[in-house]
Homo-oligomer: A and B are copies of this chain.
Amino acid sequence: MDLSQPKPELLDRFAAIVGENHVLRDAADLAPRLVEGRGLYKGASRMLLKPGSTEEVAAIMKLASETGTPIVPQTGNTGLVGGQTPRETGGDLILSLERMNRIRDVDPVANVLVAEGGAILADVQKAADAVDRLFPLSLGSEGSCRIGGNLSTNAGGTAVLAYGNMRQLCLGLEVVLPTGEIWNGLRRLKKDNTGYDLRDLFIGAEGTLGVITGAVLKLFPRPAGHKVAFAGVNSPTDALALFGLASNLCGGALTGFELMPRIGVEFTSRNIAGVRDPLPDAHPWYVLIDISTSDTAETAEVMIQSLLEQGIEAGLVRDAVIASSLAQEKALWHMRESLSDAQKPEGGSIKHDVSVPVSKIPAFMEEAAQAVLAAIPGARICAFGHLGDGNIHYNISQPVGADKAAFLARWREINGIVHGIVLAAGGSISAEHGIGQLKRDELAHIRSPIEMELMYRIKKAFDPAGIMNPGKVVALP
């Protein structure tokens, strides 16, 4: 008998907490919960528990703590670094928040919404919309990702430029600790300087310090005006200069500034149904500019035209189109959001989620391209992303006709090259996706010993039994 596996009677005790009809035990039922989207990790587990309340989550963690049973919290299972996937050992139980999907309260006067950890992001957006408010977090996976996961990974997305990451969108949390105790930090306050910042410690901890069961989220007035433009530019240098113009001209009204290369337009036009090149001629690079104004719709119109005129005068914009209908706006954003899917038919893709200081993006792009092409001649670099945040999804499609497996076998080697350039520029190897399993060992390698030591001390202080999503983010030495 394998001692690392939970015994049947222990599984029954866990099941009794939530009721047998809220448990998955069957291998076929469990299978989709053991893999993540990119197929990088495949874990094992005997049981998935679906608690219906914070108290049930607390009872699960209390029993886990008493019996030393590792627990992996899971929400939408859309994470990209294996943080939500149980380990291969089979000893981990999965705690799914899918039944805890309620919106507990919406207050449009105070501009707050209280959601459970299992609430789907799109449902939160809709609940805000219903009271004429905006919840700005927006991701490709918003139809299936859930608030607890968004918070645990400090999710970013396309509206970070104006509204910030998930950390900036959250006022308070309810967390079940590894011991089963409940921390009620569901505060609705914009200002509260009363002791250590527990909230921001749980946000971004990827479920290794506790289970986020509820959150107070910030709402915003819905913009009165909205305009989207798509412009061809010569280079990342020109795109950055245009971003400078846009920041000065639009301030907080600049809600998106996305960069993409010519090959991104080719990939999406070729591989995504309904996408076509919005401009008549080809350009080396493109930017998608999104402006939202609060006072009037006309301000957005004036602002975007003025920005493009200034960009053309300064020689930064080669050609541009402004969406003239909601359908056109959606089409431009659809092209941008399809960039990941558009790479799949092109063969293997080695991916990076990096950030550098905004001013260093052009130099990073140039240096990384040289190094990658020296290592893999013919590699097709599809580097795109949130220019305004310094966050580039540096994806590399295999050379045409190359062997996919042989190309993908060089994942770590190419990561090493790209991350080396990122780190030399003072950048981050994980701008928005997190650490999970994928970058855990690399994190320990690139960070100073004292920084890792502080993280270990926090992990031990919060999870002395080591049962809370073990093996993710940090591995205790």
Contacts and interface: CB of A to CB of B under 8 A. Distances in A.
Interface of A: 107, 109-112, 153-154, 156, 160, 162, 164-165, 167-168, 177, 181-185, 187-198, 200-201, 203-205, 209, 220-221, 223, 240, 244, 247-253, 293-295, 299, 302-303, 306, 355-360, 386, 389-391, 426-435, 439, 443, 447-448, 450-451, 454-455, 457-462, 473-474
Nearest to A439: B194
Nearest to A457: B461
Contacts of A181: 450
Contacts of A447: 194-195
A473 B196 CA distance: 9
Contact of A435 (B110, B182, B194, B251): B194
Given A200-B200, A201-B201, A460-B461, A390 B191 contact: yes
Q: Within the oligomer, what is the number of copies of this chain?
A: 2
Given A244-B109, A358-B111, A454-B198, A193 B433 contact: yes
A253 B294 contact: yes
Nearest to A458: B196
A406 B462 CA distance: 46
Contacts of A461: 454, 457-458, 460-461
Nearest to A449: B181
B252 A189 contact: no
Nearest to A294: B251
Give the 3 A-B residue pairs with the shortest CB-CB distance, closest first: A251-B294, A252-B252, A200-B200
A229 B179 CA distance: 53
A72 B243 CA distance: 44
Contact of A183 (B164, B188, B448): B448
Contacts of A355: 189-192
Nearest to A185: B451
A201 B200 contact: yes
A246 to B, nearest CB: 10
Nearest to A209: B196
B431 A191 contact: yes
A195 B474 contact: yes
Contacts of A185: 451
B191 A197 contact: no
Contact of A451 (B183, B240, B251): B183
A160 B192 CA distance: 12
Nearest to A107: B359
B203 A197 contact: yes
A164, A193, A293: most-surrounded residue (chain B CB, <10 A): A193
A153 B191 CA distance: 12
A342 B466 CA distance: 56
Given A194-B435, A248-B294, A457-B462, A189 B221 contact: no
A223, A244, A299, A458: most-surrounded residue (chain B CB, <10 A): A458
A451 B183 CA distance: 6
A253 B221 CA distance: 12
A447 to B, nearest CB: 7
Given A109-B244, A110-B360, 15 more contacts: A160-B191, A177-B450, A184-B448, A189-B431, A190-B355, A191-B389, A191-B390, A191-B432, A192-B355, A194-B428, A194-B430, A194-B439, A221-B248, A249-B295, A251-B293
